[in-house]
Amino acid sequence: MTKRKSTSNPILIVIILVVLAIGIGAYLLAQGSAAPQPTTDATPPQPTLQLPTLQLTPPASLSELSAQVAADYPQLAQLLENPELGSVYKDFYITYQNAGQEAALALARQRGILNENDDVVMTLILDSAEQTPALVTELEGEGVIVESSYQDRINIIIPTQLILEQIDATEPELIVERIANLEHVISLQLPNKLSADQAGFAGEGVAVTLAGEWQGQGFTGQGVKVGVLDLGFAGYEALLGTELPKEVVISTFGNPAQLGVQVHGTACAEIIHEMAPDAQLFLAYFDGSEVALGQAVDWLLSQGVKIISNSTSISGLSPMDGSGFAADIANRVHDAGVLWVNAAGNRADEHYRGVFQDSNGDTLHEFAPEVTALPFTMKAGAASYLILSWNDWAARNQDYDLILFDKNGNLLAKAEDFQTGQPGQRSAEVIFYQFAKSDTYLLAVQNRGGAARGDATLDLFVYNGQIPPEFMHPEASLGTPADARGAFTVGAVKWSNDVLEPYSSQGPTNDGRIKPDLVAPSAVKSASYSPFFDGTSAATPHVAGAAALILQAFPAYTPAEIAALFQSRAVKLSDALPNNKFGAGRLSLGQSPGASQ
């Protein structure tokens, strides 16, 4: 079942991958098994940013490194040229070879390759979902732990002990190569992780949205099942019968490490319960990965929910035109007659957009004249995704790289996946990085080898960081699946004055549709967060709870009819509505059916 004939011992191969992986050390991603949760502070204190004037020197490419090591390490050279393997794994394998296990582990913890048990994690992308069961069996036979699978994706774990044993073998094989060469495997990636879109009693939103008036007329969500899709439900048991219903149904998908650590989902469930106190809640924990997302959604649909509230998203890793893995799930839910309510995202002030410019031919993008690096500040200990994408999602043959430097121009990390038009590739580069100190850092975008046309529109997201105001681009800063045609997308305004929150992600989508569809209250009181619960994460469950009241009053309403009611009754916050800041306006249920009779 291999596409290329290989004499590699399967288990040996598995080992060096973890060598790679061990080299790939360990970082505990905050959303379950391999990705960091964003920090609670929406805008940490930052020093004044100065535009960099130093001349940056692009580091050697993986292809150049491959040529340098080919004579002494032919297997490593072959690995570095493998277009299916994510560059982060290659980087750490090089570190292991050059500096040893301790150095590789240190880098691995910065780059998010390991889970909380210090084992290597990755997602395999297949060319056909029909092949997933057979491939799962084959992987397990080689000592690889299959954490979960869904459609054409498999999340795997390679035990570091397995790798260490193979490192000591007389003629070790590269397990990463073995896995990459398996038939139907078209990509090995660091798992994509959706993040919570947050920036803490009856909440202020109940009164502002007129939900209290509907409750007074007997519309409390009775008989309506609402699903809460989230990354953690810590402390929910203590709130049963007070801030939450007396009973809830809960299930977990993927790595459960963050289930009892993150309170984000509990806070979202609180708001839904405030808005619709008699609605039945189904809490679906997932670890942030796309595989677990799909499994959680399937479970919610099997429970008969009519509304799904999702306050998670990821920006920069999809075409943002209503397509892509997560968007397809939201569209499918909508087509099944279930309302999907999604947070717009909190990336409006962490997003840069610009057309690639290179006036001097050095292959580096110019963010401004003679400025080839985007400065940003980051807090000590912050775990951040730095994501570059560009408008070549159909062909995927324009190759750009993303480079992270310290403020003095010293290389910290580089993402240089292949974009050669092959299946499984994407027009994006991702650096996950754990920042050790509060400081200014630099990001550069390189046209690999000068081979790309050099006319791409670039989108750059700096999660949890602060970029100079002159480079902020709030437009087109949505996360996915907020861009889905089937998603009812929610932005955030401060509950007390309807002022748009500066972080609230905006449209349009890349195919020109207006998003968000509506805005709703944020910065409201919560038992889970102190002093308040902020972000589009807080706005979204207000809409989900309001939808439960509507469905009790009008049980036959479709998602489209619920959306139309919301938009027709929204409080108009601008003369030109709908628009990409406020959608149709701020959530208001208006007069209840009982009051109108």
Q: What is the DSSP letter of 579?
A: B
Give me the residue label for tokens 């009812």. 488
Extended beta strands in 249-304, E state: 249-253, 280-286
**pLDDT score, position 162:** 74
Q: What's residue 502's pLDDT? A: 97
| CB neighbour burial string for 73-87, b if at least 16 within 10 angstroms, e if fewer | beebbebbbbebbbb
Residues of the chain with CATH 3.40.50.200: 195-346+477-596
Q: What is the DSSP letter of 277?
A: T
pLDDT at position 44: 37
Per-residue DSSP letters for 220-260?
Answer: S-TT-EEEEEES--TTHHHHBTTTB-S--EEEEES-GGGTT
What is residue 541's predicted lDDT score, i.e. its pLDDT?
98
Specify the CATH number of the domain 195-346+477-596: 3.40.50.200
Q: Chunked in runs of 10, what are the mean pLDDT values of the chain (597 residues)?
A: 38 33 31 32 46 78 86 80 91 82 83 90 95 94 92 91 64 74 93 75 81 96 98 97 97 96 96 98 97 98 98 96 97 98 98 97 95 96 96 97 96 96 96 96 95 95 96 98 98 96 98 98 92 94 98 98 98 93 98 73
Give the pLDDT confidence score for residue 199 in this predicted structure: 58
- Sheet containing 428-434: order of strands: 351-355, 457-462, 383-390, 428-434
Phi, psi dihedral angles at 430 (to 5 degrees)? -130, 130
- C-alpha to C-alpha distance for 445 and 27, rounded to whole angstroms: 25
In the CATH hierarchy, which fold is given to the domain comprising 348-471? Jelly Rolls (2.60.120)
Task: With beta carbons less than 8 A apart as the criterion, state whether 481 and 93 touch.
Answer: no
Outline which parts of the chain fall under CATH 2.60.120.380: 348-471
Q: H or E segment at 432? A: strand 428-434
Question: What's residue 17's pLDDT?
Answer: 33
